[in-house]
Structure 1
Amino acid sequence: MHAQRRGGATERAYAQLRADVLDGELPPGAVLAELEQSARLGVSRTPVREAFAKLVHDGLARPVGGRGLVVAPLDLGDLDQLYDVREALEVKAARLAARAPGRAVFAQFADRFGHAAALVGAGELDRYYAVTAEFDAAVDEAVANPWLVRALSDVRTHLVRIRRLARHDPARLLAAASEHQLIAEALAAGDADLAAHAVHVHLHRSRSHFREHLNTPSHHQHDEESA
């Protein structure tokens, strides 16, 4: 029973810490101290220590000599490696989804992305991101390949942190919505070549946007202040 309670505490601590890292509440370079996080989360240090180990396994935290653990930083090398993998996986996923039965659902997503300007304009970014998450889930279901879906899930975990940087760039979000709309239209039409090309264009523009953002002096200053 004691082990079960501790396991539950570990999972709760891990879930909260993971969410805080992905949402930027714990920014890149932030020091992860057992005592501090134990007090903040209201659990003992053992579940926090075990949760930290899970974060390291996920690649969301890393040990730093003499400082314990820190939230894993984001840099251009990570960005390019993630996008190389993401493009290979998502282009393949798009081709499979375009050939899957029941793809009519993507026509609904095309319509929803067509109305995304209203969400972005109203500052309802969480609702916009919810639509993209539902779209990803629909593609995953159409792909029906658990190995591909699992690999995509791992990549998306890290890209969430990068994508959050676009929260204050409505222009990029509007462009991304149009790109998603074209992808959804191609999937609904069963056009695998167009869907793959639309994914390639979307990811190229997304990568370029984030490269520019990660190169800005304000981003580097923020990382240094958080380190």
Structure 2
Amino acid sequence: MRASDRAYSALREDIIEWRLRPGTVLAEVEQSERLGVSRTPVREALSRLTAEGLTTAAGGRGVVVTDISLDSIDELFELRETLEVRAAALAAQRGEPGIFAELHAQLVLAPELLSDNDPARHEYYALVGRLDDAIDSAISNTYLANAMRSLRVHLVRVRRLAADDAARLHAAAAEHAAIAEAIAAGNPRLAEAATTLHLHRSLTHVKATHTPH
């Protein structure tokens, strides 16, 4: 892997996981020392992150991690509903039922992963990621899948806002299970309804708990 790719992956994960919080200045010298690469790969990585909207130029301060405001959360969920509700319906029509039946069975057991143990929670997030990937594959629409992947990098940051709320995580697991079950059943309207309900509850929770940085 190229040095710029390594730097990009490391910085991207740190931003998504909130180890680098909104407003953090990402100085090239400091980050190159931290990541063990030269300044040029860091500069390239920061350019890619800025193109994705995870960082932004802040005048004389250099590059900083972008904030997630309530307005931006509303905008993300407007787009998310447009894309994900349609994708769920297409997956129900075009997907392999057995794949989603297996994901449903795993998601039903997901509460067992939702302990206070961080690695266990990462297993849950990985399971949700597999559901996302299965939907992307099932819809057979490259443009829609690419649009959702581009959106998810920001959604993961928003999702982490609820990471300390065990009740919400358990509810979200049940909602994801319902989506997988509807797709496995080949029922587009039920898949749309399950996805719409999940998005509504997720947005309501995030807006109720989010405090601007």
Q: Shorter-normalised TM-score: what interval?
A: over 0.9
Out of 127, 130, 134, the residue aligned to residue 130 of structure 2 is 134
CA RMSD of aligned residues (A): 1.3
User: Would you say the 8 A contact 1:103–1:142 is kept in 2?
Assistant: no
Match of 1:188 among 172, 184, 198: 184
Question: Aligned equivalents of 1:11 and 1:113: distance in 2?
Answer: 32
5+ residue gaps, structure 1: 1-6
Q: Taking structure 1 as the reference length, what is the TM-score of the superposition? A: 0.90
Q: 2:205 corresponds to which residue?
A: 209
- Counterpart residue number, 1:97: 91
Cα 1:173/1:48, change in 2 over 3 Å: same
Q: 2:33 aligns with which of 35, 39, 54?
A: 39
Provide the rounded CA distance (Å) in 2 between the counterparts of 1:122 and 1:52. Answer: 33
185-194 vs 103-112, greater mean Cα deviation: 103-112
Give me the whole-angstrom Cα distance separating, in 1, the residues matched to 2:41 and 2:115: 42
Query: Which runs of at least 4 in structure 1 moved beyond 4 Å after TM superposition?
Result: none
Question: Partners of 2:41 and 2:116 in 1: how far apart?
Answer: 40
- SS of 1:37 mapped into structure 2: helix
CA distance in 2, matches of 1:101, 1:13: 36
Match of 1:199 among 195, 199, 213: 195
Over the matched positions of the two proteins, sequence identity in percent amounts to: 47
User: Map of 1:14-163 to 2, 5 A cutoff?
Assistant: 14-121=8-115, 123=117, 124-163=120-159
Is the 8 Å Cα contact of residues 92 and 185 (structure 2) preserved in structure 1?
yes
Count of residue pairs the alignment pairs up? 211
* Correspondence for 1:4: none
User: Counterpart of 1:66 in 2: which secondary structure?
Assistant: helix
Return the TM-score normalized by structure 2.
Answer: 0.95
Larger-gyration structure (1/2): 1
What secondary structure sits across from 1:31 in the alignment?
coil
Partner Cα separation in structure 2 for residue 31 and residue 122 of structure 1: 30
1:93 aligned counterpart, secondary structure: helix
In 1, distance between residues paired with 2:40 and 2:96? 47
For 1:88, the aligned partner's letter is T
Could you list the runs of 5+ residues in structure 2 that have no partner in the other structure? none
**Alpha-carbon shift at residue 24 of structure 1 (Å):** 1.0
What is the letter of the counterpart of residue 33 of structure 2?
A
